[in-house]
Amino acid sequence: MKLTTILLSSAVLAGSLFANSNLAQSAKDFGLIAIPADKAELTKLIEESSPDSKAFPTTEKRVELGKKLYFDPRLSKSGIISCNTCHNLGYGGGDNIPASTGHKWTPNPHHINAPTVYNSVFNSVQFWDGRASHLAEQAAGPMTAAPEMASTPERVEEIINSIPAYVRMFKDAYGKDVKVNFDLITTTIGIFERTLVTPSRFDDFLNGDDNALSKEEKEGLELFLNNGCVSCHNGINLGGTMQPWEVASQYEFSNVGDFKGDENGMVKTPILRNIHLTAPYYHNGAIWSLKDAIKGMGSIQLGIDISDEDAKKIETFFNSLTGRMPTIVYPMLPASTEKTPKPDLEY
């Protein structure tokens, strides 16, 4: 009896280890991809994921300059809104409100929730309607949108070129003959954003560490795979690609805002990395509960009823997607000069 018990226990243990190994492989077979653990491999992937990286490779000086620009509110017309205002790096890369508020306290006219900037380098497209192909193109949008930063390319160029310290930094980063124009400014912000990558325990699991996920997280991952959530939330970001919306039923809060996707009704799937940090959820930020967001996706996209218990397990799996955040030191910004355009708050 004792020998039989030992043999059965050994078999169960072996089966458990085998299942763990199979689960990681199953996740990969379903199209989930790990952030590489090797630094050189990760750097190569980031460059390959940046369409403008051949013309503008990532360098330390460009990253540091891009960080200053990202945090500099002078790039807005009012002088009080920066990229970090709506994509707050301390909030998981969003702004923790349903729809962003911009120039003159203007709410987003389409009631659009700000997507996280973390790991956005791996998205196939930017913006909810996928209208931008890379980060530099995305950076230009909010900067010149009237309800957001409300500036113009000419004003942004004038501000940067009026500050000698910025001009020196651009020359140092790109060469002494560089022309500091709007495109180079947004490109530099995009170069900084390339570095905002957050490897997580889930990546460790896919990269071979069976103990990186708890038993409960593994159960949630199995449900995530088996229920079909991975059909849209796939790839390295578990999202970030264009997918059809309201496939099986209508979204309960579809009338909050007027966003309907691109011309074909396609919507960029939100990435699930750091999802516990980026409430509220969906394109219009109408859902605050992650469990409710999971159940809603089951109904809207998959046509299935995900129970409270299963939704809670999937939510538990999402804990493993909270990443190791890069250390961001808030930069000291160079002083304005008499030539620098003054803030215009349009009171």
Taking the C-alpha atoms of residue 12 and residue 36, their distance in angstroms, rounded to an integer, is 32
What whole-number distance in Å separates Cα of residue 273 and Cα of residue 321? 5
Q: Is 266 annotated as a binding residue?
A: no
What do you get for the CA distance between the two ends of the chain, in Å?
85
Q: Which residues contact 48 (CB under 8 A, 6 or more apart)?
A: none
Cα(186)–Cα(143) distance, integer angstroms: 9
CB under 8 A, 24+ apart: contacts of 28-33? 28/206, 30/225, 30/230, 30/234, 31/230, 31/234, 31/235, 32/206, 32/230, 32/234, 32/235, 32/236, 32/238, 33/206, 33/235, 33/236
134 is in an annotated binding site: no
The token duo for 206 is 């896919």
3-state secondary structure of 267: strand
Cβ neighbors of 256 (< 8 A, separation 6 or more) are 98, 111, 284, 286
**Which residues are CB-contacts of 188 (< 8 A; sequence separation ≥ 6)?**
62, 65, 66, 69, 170, 173
User: Does residue 280 have a cis bond before it (omega within 30 degrees)?
Assistant: yes
CB 232 within 8 Å of CB 243: yes
Q: Are 268 and 127 in contact (CB under 8 A)?
A: yes
Q: Is 223 in contact with 311 (CB distance < 8 Å)?
A: no
Active site residue 148: yes
143 is in an annotated binding site: no
111 labelled ligand-binding: no
87 annotated to bind ligand? yes
Q: Is 297 annotated as a binding residue?
A: yes
Q: Are 234 and 30 contacting, i.e. CB atoms less than 8 angstroms apart?
A: yes
* Torsion angles phi and psi, residue 150, rounded to 5: 60, 25
Give Cα 11 to chain centroid, integer Å. Answer: 42
Which residue in 137, 148, 193, 217 is the catalytic one?
Answer: 148
Could you list the residues known to form a binding site, using ranges.
83, 86-87, 103, 229, 232-233, 297
Could you list the residues known to form a binding site for heme c, using ranges.
83, 86-87, 103, 229, 232-233, 297
- Active-site positions read 148
